[in-house]
Structure formats: C-alpha cells, structure tokens
Chains A and B, each alone.
Chain A
Amino acid sequence: MKRNIHCYIMLLAVAMVMISSCASHPDVPSSSKEAKCQPAIYPDYCDVTIPCNIAPLNFMLPADEFTECVARITTADGKQHTYGNGVKVQIPEGEWHEMLNASKGKSLKVEVWGDKAGEWLSFNPFEIKIAEEPIDEYLSYRLIEPSYVAWDFMEIAQRNITTFEETQIFNNEITCTDRASGQCINCHSYQNYKTDNMLFHVRKSNGGTVLVNDGKISRVNLKRDYTISGGVYPAWHPTEKLIAFSTNLTRQSFHTSNPNKIEVFDLASDMILYDVKTDSVTIVSNDSILLEVYPTWSSDGKYLYYCKSVPLPEDMKGQEINVIYQKIQYNLYRRSFDVATHNFGDEELVYDAASADKSVTLPRISPDGRYLLFAIGQYGCFHSRHHDADIVCIPMDKYTGTALTAETCSAVDMSPVNSAGYSDSYPSWSSNGHWIMLASRRDDGNYSRVYFAFFKDGKVGKAFLLPQEDPEHNTFLLKSYNRPEFMVEPVKISVDEFSKVFDK
C-alpha cells in the first residue's frame, strides 16, 4: 500500500514537471512573417531598464488579435530560453532571476512571435537593460476602487517586488463596528523606508491613527482643540521620533462632464509636528488664509518641504470654492529644522509654479538630497485626479536661495516617465535613489497603477509597470493602487495584531 502511494506521488510529480515544462518552454516557430515593428505587448516592457532583483516581467500579446505568443530571451552570456502559454509569456521566478544575475549591468534580448489568424509574425527584438542597482524589496499601497464618496472593501497591502507575493497589512473590515457608516484606512507611512516605525489612519467607525513605535502598536488621536483636524498627510522625520502632518478640511465635488470626474480641495489646511515620545502636537504653520499641505523631510532631516497655496486675486476672495477651485495654485516651500531644539527657521520659496500658471504637489527629496521630485498640474492639490498632472524632477544644486521656476530649474527630461493626457502623480524615490516610483492612470484613465523608472546621473529611463504573475491581472483588477511607498523590509505585524489595538 505504502509503495503504491509513493509510486503515485512520483508519477504525479513527473507529470506535473512535464506539463509545466511543455507549457512554458515552447519551440520557436519554424517559419514566420516579419512584422517589421516591435510587439504591442502588455505591459509595455520594450527597451526598459529594470532593477537586477525584480520579479519576472511577464507580458502578453493582445488576446483579441493573437492566439499564441512565443518569446525567446537571450541573456548576456548567450543562453536562450523560450516561453509562451497561449498569448501570455510567464517566466518561472527561478529561471528569471538566473537570467538577471547573468545579465547584470548588461541586457536581455527579447524576441517575440505571435500567431495571428494562423500565421506566425516575428517582431523586431527589444532589449531589457538590467541595472546593477537593486530596487527596494518591498512596496506597500492601498487597494481601493477609484471612488467618489462611498467605498466598500479596502486594504493596505504590501508586495515583495522581487517575487509576486502580496500580503495584507490591514483592511477596513476587521475592526469596523458600524458597517453602514463604514471604515476608511489610509496614509500608510514609514520612517526612513523601515517598518518598525510606521503609521496609518483609520477613519469613521472605530477611528484613530495606528502608530508603530519601535515595533509597539498604539492607537492615537491627533486631533487637538487648536488644530483644524487630526493629522492627515504624514511625513516621518528620517531619524527622530517626529512626524510632520498636514491638517485638512477637505471637500469634494463632482464634474458634470470632465474625465477628471471629481475635484478634491481643501477649505483649510495647516501643518503640525507630532512628537511620538511625548504624544504632543505643535503647530508648524497655520496661515489663516493660505493652505499648507504635503509635508516631506529632506533625507538629512534638516529641512521640511511642503506646498502652500498662493493668495487669490482680490476679486475672488470669499467666493464659493466651486467657482474658484481652478485658481488655487500651490508653490513649493521649505523651512530649516533644528533637530536639537525642534525649532523651524524662516520659510523659503523653493519652486514657484504659480508664475507659470501651475500648481505643485507631493514633493519628495532624493536620498542623496540632490534631486527633488513633485507632481505638477494646472491647479489644485489633488493631482491624482487631474489628467494633466505630470512628474517633475529638478536638481537641487540649482537652488541657491532664489526661488526656482520652470525656466530656471534645469529640470530633468521626464518624458520617458510621464504619460500624455493621464494623471501621473505620487512620485517617490527608492532608498538608494536609483528608482522612481509613481502612480499613473495611463492604462485606462481611471485606475491607478504603479510604475517604476530607472534614475542615474540626472537621467531617467522609460517607466514600466509593476510586474504581475498574470499579465492580465491589471486588466481585470477594478481597484486602484493608491499611495505606493517603498520599504526595505516588510511590515512584520499581522492584521490580527493590528486589530487588537482597537480592543483597548
């Protein structure tokens, strides 16, 4: 009996290996017609530069045009592997990482054939350059329907970028005590790419800010009598137990005929500094008229950068927000910060976007402090919903105390990163400063997806989509990737452990 079971298991294993090898390593077509163009693969990985540790770049040919796809990948040392399963090319993780290791600092050559109406077409080969610089191993994001007011299930998830493993950090179901009112979770944030000090907000039912301080979880209320709201957009100081937040009175309205669909704006917004050790909140700025938002620290923690609205023309003051929202524009400022005394210096205008009739949001300084990323659009502070929003990168050595403008900033050419006519926003740097991440709605205009681009010596590579095990995953996924953040390690606290903080 025991012997039979062993035989059965062996047979099953052999059969599985044979099936998998047949499915993923097809022969290259013996004859084909030249298409004389590169293949229209999805995601578009043609001629991209990728990190040497990323998960397989699985892709596919359009299913409504092709019935089969075969890809032959040639590594820098001349080894060749073929893949193809229907119209999809899905590469086993082990083989892929071997190919990356063999081609580090060089390129993979990818040749693609597609069966269209019974005839094989051969496309012009493309290259995938393998950068020697790795990408941070983890990424976290909120998965949420691109909603208006109501929402249903949402989760903050973390993804291992070197594999396809995705796990949940928290969801809005486990501690929700009032389903009719619902629960919203948002603004996950980490100190210096690490997860022992992190936070996220829980709004509405059973609300509070969940704070992890040296691995210990607590739930805090950041609202004070003297603040207009609890903490909203957070920024951990890179070395101190301090978190800068904006406080916002946010509203939204809806378009009757505009692909942006919704407008999100602040009626008021200020900035606060939260001291984790003493649970104290101090005001950083609370201009009664102007709006301050999106704080972010320089990598050395000596400056706090933020966006601040410019004064409205006199004739517009006091008018309804629905009328003047397109006139609200933000510039980029910074204030020096004394780590010893926790005092801020005077405000400096770093980038004057309004002079070019633009509005700047979501600044991020590169880890070496040499470059500044931000999103720019014509107006407002919520560029993830603005189809004209693009990412801008400027070298900080151009800033000598006089405000930079579009003309004077010598901006990096970001055309390989930005999409035409779709929102590109929420830029961030990997911890080594060589990878830019952004959230873009370029795939369909509605659902945000995570894109990466290589950055080195002031030059940026073509943006490419976060790879998925099934290349069709993003086609069917009716959720947006919201607020993508790099991490060098996973969040080690489980959903259940986080939920226990709500019992207290």
Chain B
Amino acid sequence: MNSARYLTSSLFGFAVVLFFGLAYPHHLHYQEQFQLFLFDSNYVCDIIKQPGGVADLLGRFCTQFFLFAWVGAVIIGLLLTAIQLLTSRFVGDSWLYGLSFVPSFLLWIFLLDEHALLGGVWAVMITLHAVCQIVRLPKGWQRYVAIVVVLPILYWMVGPSWTGSHYYRYPNVAPTLLYAAWLSAIVIPLLAYVCRKWIKPSKGYVVSLCSFVLVAGAMGSIVWKNANFKAEKVMQYDFMASHQLWNRIIETANAEKPNNQIGVTVQNLALAMRGQLTRHMFDYNQNGIAGLLPDVQSDATSPIPTAEAFYQLGMIYVAQRTVFEAQEAILDFQKSGRCYKRLAQTNLIIGSYEVARKYLMALQKTLFYREWANETLPLLEDEEAIARHPEYGRLRKSLYKESFLFSDHVTPEMLEDLYFSNTDNMLALEYLKAYYMLTNNREGYANLLLKLNKQ
C-alpha cells in the first residue's frame, strides 16, 4: 500500500515540477524580480520579528532561487508534495485518500497568481507539521501542554491567518485560496476522523489510486483553467528583454506576434537592437507610441521593459528614473534585485559612483547578484575601464550632452537630440524614424532626412 502512496505523491510532485518548469517558468522569474533577499542580520530580524515572519522569511529565501525556473519548480514541487504527505497521515487508505491532495492542489491554484507569495505555502506546511507532532503525543496532559506551548510559537512563525500576514503582494487583499487550502488541511483530517466508522480502510491500492485519479483529474483541470498563460507570455518577453535575448525575442514574435504593450515594446526593442526596426516594424503588431516608448506608468511591471529601451538608447537618466519608479511601486514595499542592478549600472554610467557603490554593496549581500556586484565594484571611478567596457562605454558616449527637462512622455525632439549628440547611436536613429512612422508625421520624417543629408 505504501508503494501506491509513494507513487501518487511522486506523480503529483512530478506534475507540479513539470508545470512550473515548462508551462509557468516566467511567473517564477517575475516573482524573483520583485524581491531582494539579503544575507544580512538586520534584514532577517526585520522580517522575523513580525508575526508570520518565519514563514515569510522561508518564502523569501526560497523565492530567490526562482531566478532559475527549474530550481523554483522543484522547490514548489517539494513543498506541495510535503504538504500532501502530511495531510495524508490523517487520511487512511480509502476512498478519502484522494482528498489528501486537495490542500496542495489549492495551493497550486493559489500560486498561479503572480501576486501570491511562497510564504503562504510555508505557513500551511509549518502549521500542518506542528499539528502532526502534537497528534503523535499520547493523549492527556502532555498533549495539552504541547498545545499551550506550540500555539504562541506558531503565531510567531506563521502569524494570524485571518490577516494573511505577508502571503500576498496586495496587503489589503485577503488571499482566499490560501485560506481555503489552510481550511481544507484542517477539515479533511476531521472528515476522515468523523467518517472512519462508515468508510472502511481498503486493503488494496486500487481504491486509493482511483480516488487519487478522481481528485487529480478534477483539480488538475481547475489548475489548467486558472493558469494565466497570457500573463506568462508577457512575462516571457520581459524576461527575454532583461537578459537581452534579442534574437530569441524576434523568433518568439515571429512564431506568435505579441499584441500587448509589454510584448510589443520588447519586440520593437529587439528589432531595433538588430537594426530591423524601421524595415520590419509593420510586419508585426504595433500600438503607436505606446508600443515603442510608452509613458511611464505608476505600477511595478510595465515600466521595466520601457526602462530597458531607455537604457539601451542611452537615455540613462530617464532609464534610472523609470526603474526607480517601478521599484517604488512594488506594492509590498520590497526591493528588486533586477532594479538594484540597473540602478547601479545607470549610476555607474553617469559617474555617480558613491550611489552605485551603495546598490552594489547591497547586492553583495545576495546569493545570486553577489558575483556580478564583485565584478562591477572595481569599475567604479576607473574611467578607462568604463570607457573600454562594451556596454557601459557605449552608453556613456550616448549620454545627452546638454540637459533639458522631460515629463512622462517621450518626444521626437528627445530622440533627435540623442542621435545628433552622438551619430554613432544608430538605435536612437531607428527609434526616431519609427516614432515618425508610427505617428504618421511625414513632415517630421522629411525634416529628419534633410538633416541627415546635411551631415
């Protein structure tokens, strides 16, 4: 019988890993980029001093590994399988066995939401584990003492479940699915206990297997239906832009033309980086200026790909402001490794070395950005090394020579000034031409051609 249990649990865990690794990897990247886990005692203390801080800390610790989607998928798979195994201890080998998968499936559905935080999953697991340990104690005073001792510790570790602690990125939104998972982890063992008189344990594995198949089939289809593959596609473009995978972006756009703002912005950036923007932009969906250089919005997600375009164009101050705004808009007040990195880079390029150093020193306290920070720190104040650097050297040459004020809206004059202050900046020229084409500004385009001919 144990083998049937191991088989079903393994199948479940394997499915979770495959789902997040193959179908949902960019949701994991998305999660990772909206937090910055620091190996720093102040950072850790600030988290764990709150009720629910331990679950939150464990969630954040694991989320840093989401930088590598398969590692993240394995972590989620292990967590959800562990929760199923803990629940199954209370459920015998009967038709009810399949119900032991319900809390894990509910958590799986919870994690489909990009704002769901892994701390919530840890909270359910810690609670279940504590209950398992208490139940193993002999009945009587020992168990009562254990409950009295464990409850406050549990409150500190997982927090008051009714306020949600830090389990969802929107602090004022109650994570209903998480509560449902939590509740099911309590109700299902109770149900098994109440029904033990009527539902006899089965000796074979067929009944358990069948109940697993029934639950897995029903809940698996709910998982699939609730998965937001449109958002996954948008996140894929954002991920590819952040890793500057220009060819892959064009290949992806060729296979299925993006029709959302982020996808189109990234597609146009990739075309421009490959010198194909003005020739091929109308082979793809366009969204006017909003698909080329959209106005900076007050959210954490949409400005980041736009900032990538500003950065590559050499509009470094604009890129810096855009990334900063995006990071400040993270709803749960967390910081972002990706944003810190870009803020360090922009400050390095404009020569604001002490500010760059601050961001780099913070990144030195991370697991996965440390190496990059260590490599970048020696560049500070080394003007020759920066000039030689293939990216920073090029971008420093592209900086505006004279400053002027801008607001949230990019104008063709900004691009024109950028190009004519450094005529090697062909990306700026591509964007300027595209700007006129997308706004159907023939006069502007003609004037530009005249200016180019005079050069």
Contacts and interface: CB of A to CB of B under 8 A. Distances in A.
Nearest to A443: B354
Nearest to B171: A179
B315 A179 contact: no
B355 A446 contact: yes
A253 interface: yes
Given A147-B328, A152-B333, A475 B358 contact: yes
Contacts of A325: 405
B239 interface: no
A32 B421 CA distance: 54
Given A255-B405, A322-B405, A147 B362 contact: no
A18 interface: no
Interface string A149-170: 1111100000000000000000
B331 A253 contact: no
B448 interface: no
Given A179-B331, A257-B403, A476-B362, A148 B324 contact: yes
B318 interface: yes
A257 B399 contact: yes
Interface string B316-353: 11100100110111110100000000000000001010
Interface stretch (A99-107, A258-266, A357-365, A390-398): A258-266
Contacts of B355: 444-447
Nearest to B297: A150
Interface string A162-189: 0000000000010001111000000000
Nearest to B172: A179
Contacts of B399: 257
Contacts of A177: 172
Given A179-B171, A179-B172, A256 B404 contact: yes
A179 B166 CA distance: 14
Contact of A475 (B361, B401, B407, B414): B361
Contacts of B350: 257, 259
Interface residues of A, number: 32
A151 B330 CA distance: 9
Interface residues of B, number: 37
A177 B171 CA distance: 10
A424 interface: no
B10 interface: no
B375 interface: no
Contacts, number: 95
Interface in A420-452: 443-447
A257 B349 CA distance: 11
Given A148-B321, A148-B325, A445-B354, A257 B406 contact: no
A115 interface: no
Contact of B400 (A149, A257, A478): A257
Contacts of A259: 350, 352
Contact of B331 (A180, A254, A261, A475): A180
B414 A152 contact: no
B333 A255 contact: no
A111 interface: no
Contacts of B401: 257
B446 to A, nearest CB: 25
A160 B170 CA distance: 35
Interface string B134-173: 0000000000000000000000000000000000001110
- Most B-side CB within 10 Å, residue of A145, A173, A256, A478: A256
A150 B298 contact: yes
Nearest to A258: B403
Nearest to A151: B328
B392 to A, nearest CB: 16
Contacts of B333: 152-153, 173
Nearest to B298: A150
A480 to B, nearest CB: 12
A261 B317 contact: yes
Interface of B: 170-172, 298, 315-318, 321, 324-325, 327-331, 333, 350, 352, 354-355, 357-359, 361-362, 399-407, 414, 417
Interface of A: 145, 147-153, 173, 177-180, 253-259, 261, 263, 322, 325, 443-447, 475-476, 478
21 contacts: A148-B321, A149-B298, A151-B328, A173-B333, A178-B172, A179-B171, A253-B405, A253-B407, A254-B406, A255-B403, A255-B404, A256-B315, A256-B406, A257-B316, A257-B317, A257-B400, A263-B405, A325-B405, A447-B355, A476-B362, A478-B359
